[in-house]
Homo-oligomer: A and B are copies of this chain.
């Protein structure tokens, strides 16, 4: 039967989700949206590991509030993804791309013998900006306190000649709360997102716009759950999860990428 159906060993796009759970689903939704398909059979095979319970908090580690590096659990899950058939892997979480976390995770993945491709969301985003917005110089980034402190955006964007601007202290604290506050943040209330979280995020995006950002990055995968559209007050609004979705499709089977989506 194995040779007949091909389902036993077929390779797939692997997604390490759960960071958070709804952001992982939102990401897979974008993979489907960006795939040229009118029937079930025309869609690509996708494997999603959503194990949020197994992965310690990223922001707390990056801020030094805990010494438990979530990169270890992420690495083990990446190995599970690879062993389960993933040949092209992405992680829809900006904060988890911080070097002190991601380097640990990828080290475990590659030491396991993984021969496939890991697609780096933030590097892909920088590359996308250079291609799609060649005149951009100043990129405004909405992100967690963890990603801010780890300088993960600076590291990858600076390589492409892009400057990064962030919110001031108070704005970053408000944004972090809109993401993770247990009484109104997106992680606790994703479906639907609360008006308070939406309003706070909109206000902070406006602050970045005032700083003359040439484009604004939704640099936390929870943000596209609250903010939509392709521009904010006329400034391009970029979604790294959409960019990663397109990059994973290109890496897995470029003929399936839907253009002009």
- A residues near B (Cβ < 8 Å) are 1-2, 4-8, 10, 12, 18-22, 25, 28-29, 32-33, 37-57, 72-74, 76-77, 79-80, 83-85, 108, 180, 182, 187-188, 190-191
Q: Given contacts A4-B72, A5-B73, A41-B52, could you give 8 more A-B pairs where the C-beta distance is less than 8 Å?
A: A7-B74, A8-B79, A19-B40, A43-B50, A43-B52, A44-B53, A45-B50, A80-B84
- By a CB distance below 8 angstroms, the chain B residues around A180 are 39
- By a CB distance below 8 angstroms, the chain B residues around A73 are 5-7
Pick the contact of A6: B5, B46, B54 (CB < 8 A): B54
Assess the A72–B25 pair: CB atoms within 8 A. Answer: no
- When C-beta atoms are compared, the residue in chain B nearest to A8 turns out to be B76
Assess the B38–A188 pair: CB atoms within 8 A. Answer: yes
**How far apart are A189's CB and chain B's nearest CB, in angstroms?**
9
**How far apart are A34's CB and chain B's nearest CB, in angstroms?**
11
Assess the A28–B29 pair: CB atoms within 8 A. Answer: no
Assess the B39–A45 pair: CB atoms within 8 A. Answer: no
Give complex CA distance A40, B77 in Å: 16
- By a CB distance below 8 angstroms, the chain B residues around A12 are 51
- By a CB distance below 8 angstroms, the chain B residues around A85 are 80
Give complex CA distance A38, B72 in Å: 23
**How far apart are A108's CB and chain B's nearest CB, in angstroms?**
8
Given A1-B76, A51-B45, A76-B2, A188 and B29 contact (CB-CB distance below 8 Å): no
- By a CB distance below 8 angstroms, the chain B residues around A53 are 10, 40-45
Give complex CA distance A42, B19 in Å: 12
Assess the A80–B32 pair: CB atoms within 8 A. Answer: no
Pick the contact of A191: B32, B43, B44 (CB < 8 A): B32
Assess the A29–B22 pair: CB atoms within 8 A. Answer: yes
**How far apart are A13's CB and chain B's nearest CB, in angstroms?**
9
Assess the B187–A38 pair: CB atoms within 8 A. Answer: yes
